[in-house]
Chain A
């Protein structure tokens, strides 16, 4: 699964993650700390995700 982390625009590959909650846990994020986007749609934490997905994880905290 290809993950793009924003705002730093960094790419990571994560195997064996099946839900948005699982993905956020792997990244050390809470569900209120990032938008999770697939195919230009927001995903809720209970959504299933798949190995071929390209996902954007956009952290929401303002920094300055």
Chain B
């Protein structure tokens, strides 16, 4: 296979774009996809102060590398979940990455907050993933607001977004559909949230990391086995394999034709968040989810 741009030998084949790229041209392609996402969805401007959630995986490190090389004002935030099988190596990857690229890094240790994920998991009967996600979103937003960042960027990719859209549509979750997209504005105590990698698949971010020599953490979370999102991703991979380009057209189609209707429903029925009685974090309940988890841990000793 030859590179679509320069006719040299291709190293990445992208059936979704009917294209193949050599290593240098692939980096150009990747950068253009990120720039297109930022511009078309008006994610942020050069003057924005951006904090990136860095898990140590391929997507977040690829995002930080790309935004840094585009000249944006970025910092990183890593949340150390205190999971023995994966957290130490994830943190090490993030720290080395940020050191090598002079990216300022904040690290929040959940153990110090009394929220080490193994401890939380031991006190609940259902899967810990949703609570872990809630805790991460809480501290990402809190630090971004406390430190005066104007946007919180995450490495969610096209596979993450289509799997989530598929799940939300399958359950007709109107509230989640109204909020889904690569851009959520700052409002009601929440920082602006952006997903500049939404046009790129996991295969594409992994290829980028390989070519750009980004050493990312391969250790999976030991608690994520059997997660429904992984199953949805496998289903959608089969669809993409048979009909290349369907994931992007499915997601872009939703953003262009469907999302607004669900957002309007949310506005009509919406509940404006108010400050949590315990910590002041915006919540639709009297006490926010993280304070409820803390209270549950305190009650169970």
Which residues on A are within 8 Å of B, measured CB to CB? Answer: 6-7, 30-35, 37, 41-46, 58, 60-64
Contact = CB atoms under 8 A, between A and B. Distances in A.
Interface string B211-231: 100000011111111010010
B43 interface: no
Interface in B11-45: 11-13, 15, 20, 23
Interface of B: 1, 10-13, 15, 20, 23, 57-59, 86, 129, 159-160, 201-203, 205-207, 210-211, 218-225, 227, 230, 233, 237-238, 240-241
A60 B13 contact: no
Nearest to B23: A42
Contact of B218 (A7, A43, A45): A7
B1 A46 contact: yes
Given A30-B241, A31-B13, A33-B237, A60 B203 contact: yes
A37 B237 contact: no
Contacts of B211: 42
A61 B13 contact: no
Given A33-B203, A35-B206, A63 B1 contact: no
Nearest to A46: B1
Contacts, number: 73
Contacts of A37: 210
19 contacts: A7-B220, A30-B238, A32-B203, A32-B241, A35-B210, A41-B11, A42-B11, A42-B210, A58-B218, A60-B58, A60-B206, A61-B202, A61-B233, A62-B57, A62-B58, A63-B224, A63-B227, A63-B230, A64-B223
Contact of B20 (A7, A35, A44, A58): A44
Contacts of B13: 31, 44-46
B202 A60 contact: yes
Contact of A7 (B219, B222, B233, B241): B219
A63 B160 CA distance: 11
Contact of A62 (B12, B15, B160): B160
Nearest to B10: A44
B227 A35 contact: no
B246 to A, nearest CB: 11
Contact of B203 (A6, A35, A43, A46): A35
A61 B270 CA distance: 35
Contacts of B220: 7, 63-64
Contacts of A30: 237-238, 240-241
Given A34-B203, A60-B206, A61-B202, 7 more contacts: A7-B218, A32-B201, A33-B237, A60-B203, A63-B230, A64-B86, A64-B222
